[in-house]
Amino acid sequence: MDDLSMHRLDVDGALAEAAEPLGGVSRAGFLGASLGTSLALLGLGAAQAEARQGASDLDILNYALTLEYLQAAFYTEAERMGALKGRTERAAQTVGAVERAHVAAFQDLLGKQAIRRPSFDFQGVTEKPQAFLKTAVAFEDLAVAAYKGQATNIKAESALAAAVAIHSVEARHAAWMRYLFGANPARTAFDQPASKQEVTQIVRSTNFVTGNPSTKRKRAPRFTG
């Protein structure tokens, strides 16, 4: 066992920076032709129709979207910080583009039922190559376990097909980041799943998520004119 799990991450609270809002991430801009095509081939349109029928599939897809928001924001911030070099920088760019494509796919799939992007504070880990890689490993390993934990909960067949097709890509990312970090890319013969509760608890313990947007206005706007 190594110590790369999310809850053991050494996130230095003293380096807390104002969280990048990350609201400027353009969906269309990052969805390259090949990414768009591969997602379309999975029949996400069909998944959308089926998903609407099951409340639990909607919950699962929004849960997946949350994890993708987290990952996309992390890589996007790392790119903007410009502290990564060489193959780590290239990996961050490639993986970031893919995570943003996953976000876009789930947003399209969920339509108006998609939860909104939370705000994040990565506490400086995007500014130091080693801290970045360590966090990337933890995120990707967690994503693998999270998708795996939902495999048997998904009802709609096309939603399952989409989830498994993303699940293995997260595993590729995990191995890639582990390789760059100098850790064993495949440390066991069987990857174990994690429940939504476990994953949520781990994400919460990092304090990377600083705010969840409310879905409704709590107060009426004030008119001064």
Name which position in 53, 56, 130, 184 contacts other proteins (CB under 8 A). 184
Name which position in 92, 170, 199, 208 contacts other proteins (CB under 8 A). 170
Is 43 one of the binding residues for other proteins (CB under 8 A)?
no
Q: How far is the CB of 131 from other proteins (least distance, A)?
A: 21
Is 28 one of the binding residues for other proteins (CB under 8 A)?
no
Is 202 one of the binding residues for other proteins (CB under 8 A)?
no
CA distance 44 to 110: 10
Phi-psi region of 178 (alpha: psi -120 to 50; beta: other; left: phi over 0): alpha
**Rounded to whole angstroms, what are the CA distances from 136 to 4, 78, 93, 152, 208?**
10, 10, 12, 26, 13
Q: Which stretch binds other proteins (CB under 8 A): 72-80, 115-123, 160-168, 212-220?
A: 160-168
Is 134 one of the binding residues for other proteins (CB under 8 A)?
no
Is 118 one of the binding residues for other proteins (CB under 8 A)?
no
Is 190 one of the binding residues for other proteins (CB under 8 A)?
yes
CA distance 87 to 175: 14
Tokens (6 digits) for 199: 């994953």
**Rounded to whole angstroms, what are the CA distances from 22 to 11, 73, 125, 174, 204?**
20, 7, 16, 23, 19
**Interface with other proteins: number of residues (CB under 8 A):** 46
CA distance 187 to 76: 28
Name which position in 144, 199, 202, 209 contacts other proteins (CB under 8 A). 144
Task: Using DSSP, state whether 25 is helix, strand or coil.
Answer: coil
Task: Using DSSP, state whether 30 is helix, strand or coil.
Answer: helix
Q: Which stretch binds other proteins (CB under 8 A): 10-18, 76-84, 99-107, 215-223?
A: 99-107
Where on the chain is the footprint of other proteins (CB under 8 A)?
34-35, 38-39, 41-42, 94-95, 98, 101-102, 105, 144, 148-149, 151-152, 157, 160-162, 164-176, 179-180, 184-186, 188-193, 195
